[in-house]
Structures are given as structure tokens and as C-alpha cells.
Chain A
Amino acid sequence: MSEVSEQDVRNLAVQHRELQNQAESLQQQMGMVQMSIEDCTRAIGTLEELEAVSGSINTMLPLGGGTFVHANVANVEKVVVSVGAGISVEKSPAEAKELLNQRKEELSKVVERLNGSIAQVGQRIQSIESMAGNRSPQ
């Protein structure tokens, strides 16, 4: 272990920093994916509420800054769902819910993949740290 040269130590330090950056970026991605999942869950909840309603709904439309204007939702039989690339599609609440559930499933798979990558990076960081820890102070 004492054979580790100065150059090796420097290389390890660089690797360590890079891995930490990588871990941080993975965590950020994970946060974003989890936010998307929550967003889907919230939308599904709202759609379920809508399904229970018949006819029109009195509601409020957010104008931003915590300000609202009264609005009347005339039609709850059709909702518009974004499918990406700036395209949105009109669907029934049930179809929209199905689409959102599929999206949630795909996002959950991404979470699993990210978890795997985060664990891998974490292991590599730990192995570098233990290598550095084993090296006797000079």
C-alpha cells in the first residue's frame, strides 16, 4: 500500500471529484424524475375526482401570484394530455388516466436504473476513499 505514488494519489483525487460530480448529477436527475412521478400522481387524483362529477364544475383558474378568477368547466368528458414534442391530444378522463399510469411505470423504471447507477458510483467513491484511508500518513 505504501507503494502508492504521489501521481497515483493525484489521479485518485481527480477520479474522486469526478465521481462526486457524477453522483450529484444523478441525484438531480432522480429528483426531477421523482417530481414527474408526483406530478402524474396528482393529475391522476384530479382525473379521478372529475370522473365522479357529472355536468359542469364551478372552479377557479390560477392567474399566478396566488390570484384566481372564477371559472366554469363546461365539459369534464374530455381532457387534453400532452404526449411530448409540443403535441397534446384530447382524451376521455379514463384514457388520460391510463396514459399517465403508463408514464408513471416508465418513470419508475428510470428511478430503478438511476438507483443502480447511484449505488455503483457510491461504491467506486467508497473504494477510492478506503484506498486513501489505508495509505499511511507520511
Chain B
Amino acid sequence: MSSEIPPQVQNQLAQLQQVQQQAQSLAMQKNQTASMQKESEMALEELEKLSDDAVVYRAVGDLQIQSTKEETVTKLKERLDTLSLRLQSLSRQEERISKRFTQLQEQLQQAMGTQGQ
């Protein structure tokens, strides 16, 4: 069966599969980042409810380090900024990959079309 497919089309097919895998991995990273963002937002929301002298602990590796509300809020906001930047960059990559996918798909359809005639 595969011996009937011209090498050029085989190559395009392989590329298409690769692009599809990249898109899947990007989507997964985006989901993870979005859920980390959501978690940080919820933690921040919970922190904002506390009084200024509240005792807060931050996980550093396996340890819980005592900290202040102010310091933790600053750190969380920094983290949220980083996460939102990462999300933006992932979205841009996703767009590029999806364009590449459509392009390859069209090329492949054309190649199959001309082969079929």
C-alpha cells in the first residue's frame, strides 16, 4: 500500500503528523499554564481576604517557609505576569502551527488530487 504513495507525498504526510503532534503538545502546555494561572488567581483572591499581619507560608521545594502577606502577594503577582506572558507566547506559537497545518493539508490534498487523476 505505502509503496504506491510517492515519496514526496509520504514526506508531506510525515510533516503533517509532526505538525499535528506539535499542536497537541502546545495545546497541552497551554492548558497547564492556564490552570496554573487560575490556581494563582484563586490563591491571590484568598490572600487578599486576609488581614495584613496574617501568617502565610510559601512552599519552597519540600519546605514551607513562613512569609508575610505583602511579600507573598508580590511574588504571586510576579508569577501571574510570567504566566500570562507564557500564555501569550504559546497562543502565538499555536497560531503559527495551525497555519502550517492548514498549508500542509492543502498541499497534500492537491498532491493526492493530481495523483488520483
Contact = CB atoms under 8 A, between A and B. Distances in A.
Interface stretch (A25-33, A42-50, A64-72, A85-93): A85-93
A87 B43 contact: yes
A70 to B, nearest CB: 22
B54 A84 contact: no
A80 interface: yes
Contacts of B42: 83-85
A88 B56 CA distance: 6
Interface string B55-91: 1111100001000000010001001000000000000
Contact of A83 (B36, B46, B55, B79): B46
B79 A87 contact: no
A83 B48 CA distance: 12
B112 interface: no
B57 A83 contact: no
Interface residues of A, number: 11
Contact of B55 (A84, A85, A86, A90): A90
Contacts of A86: 58-59
Interface in A17-46: none
A99 B47 CA distance: 12
B59 A88 contact: yes
A84 B43 contact: yes
Interface in A76-127: 78, 80, 83-90, 99
B39 A89 contact: no
B59 A89 contact: no
A99 B64 CA distance: 20
Nearest to A86: B59
B20 interface: no
A128 to B, nearest CB: 24
Nearest to B55: A90
A2 to B, nearest CB: 28
10 contacts: A78-B55, A85-B43, A85-B76, A85-B79, A87-B57, A87-B72, A87-B76, A89-B47, A89-B54, A90-B54
Interface of A: 78, 80, 83-90, 99
